[in-house]
Amino acid sequence: MVAFINFILYLYIFVVGIVIGSFLNVVIYRVPKEISFAKGRSFCPHCQAQIKGYHNVPVFSYLWLRGKCADCGEPISIRYPLVELFTGLMAILIFAVYGLSFQWLVVFSAGAILICITMIDFDTMTIPNGLVIALMAPALLSFFFFPQIGLLSRVIGMGVISLPMLVLAFFIADAFGGGDIKLMGVAGFLLGWENTLLAAFIGLILGGTVAVTLLARKTKDKHMAFGPYLCIGIMTALLFGDIIIQWYFNLFGL
């Protein structure tokens, strides 16, 4: 009986996640185009036809329609169901760590915003200020629901990575974008200074690996979005930062 109840809970959280993921797709598509994501029904990006409600079921509608618009027959990017599916799986992972709690809500909200930042930065090489401002909400709420991270640690975290990034950007053109710097400033308050360092380290490793790969392939475009890798680092540190840091200390007997 307990296993069945847990299954229902996880299924419910997954459904909530993919529904939110569907909304995130709207934000990701509309924000760069300066279209309101709060008004108007979803529409096909090819023929502009409004998507009917029964054709807008997260993940399943894409499979039912075989990845094509029901009106014009043009292919729909597989990225849409993947974002929905990833958001659902993220919701389950956070639920496994925190249960159904305010902590789950804070972390999931932060993760949802980071997904939007990641995809928009990949598409446009920019991080919208509105999304950084939105990230401030879970960051401020985390002060109350994650009291183990002290105020001093959060304040130091705001500058421990963002200030060096700002200095580098001042002396080295295109070292970091303004969005990356602001993102790490807000993330610093969310995570505290220790996990902010970890998030930046993960981001640098991932971003550096991709950059080296692009250079090795002699890609013509030397610019790349760095925000997505910072977002991965932030989310990893938010969920598993304390475990990773403790593992590191134990590895060296500290």
Look at residues 47, 53, 49 and name the one whose alpha carbon lies nearest to residue 19.
53
- Cα separation, 196 vs 216, in Å, equals 30
Residue whose C-alpha is closest to residue 111's, from 31, 214, 16: 16
Closest Cα partner for 54 from 44, 46, 64? 64
For residue 235, what pLDDT band results from cuts at 50, 70 and 90? very high
Whether 147 has a pLDDT exceeding 90, the answer reads yes
Residue 113 has pLDDT above 90, yes or no: yes
pLDDT band at 100 (very low <50, low <70, confident <90, very high): confident
Q: What is the pLDDT of residue 71?
A: 77
What's the mean pLDDT in 221-239? Answer: 90
- Confirm if 24 and 112 have CB atoms less than 8 A apart: yes
Average pLDDT (208-228) is 80
Q: How confident is the model at residue 102 (pLDDT cuts 50, 70, 90)?
A: very high
| Across 166-175, 198-207, 243-252, least confident range | 166-175
Q: How confident is the model at residue 142 (pLDDT cuts 50, 70, 90)?
A: very high
pTM: 0.93
Residues 37, 38, 43, 47, Cα dihedral to 10°: -60
154/157 Cα distance (integer angstroms): 5
Looking at per-residue pLDDT, the higher value among 179 and 249 belongs to 179
Q: What is the overall mean pLDDT for the chain?
A: 90
- Encoded amino acid at 57, one letter: V
Average pLDDT over residues 195-205: 96
Residue 165 CB partners (closer than 8 Å, separation 6+): 175, 176, 180, 181, 184
**Which has the minimum average pLDDT: 33-42, 85-94, 96-105, 206-215?**
33-42
pLDDT at 34: 85
Give the model's pLDDT for residue 52. Answer: 81
Q: For the residues 98-125, what does the mean pLDDT come to?
A: 96
Please answer whether residues 117 and 127 qualify as being in contact, where contact means their C-beta atoms are separated by less than 8 angstroms. Answer: yes
CA distance 75 to 89: 25
Question: Binning pLDDT at 50, 70 and 90, where does residue 217 land?
Answer: confident
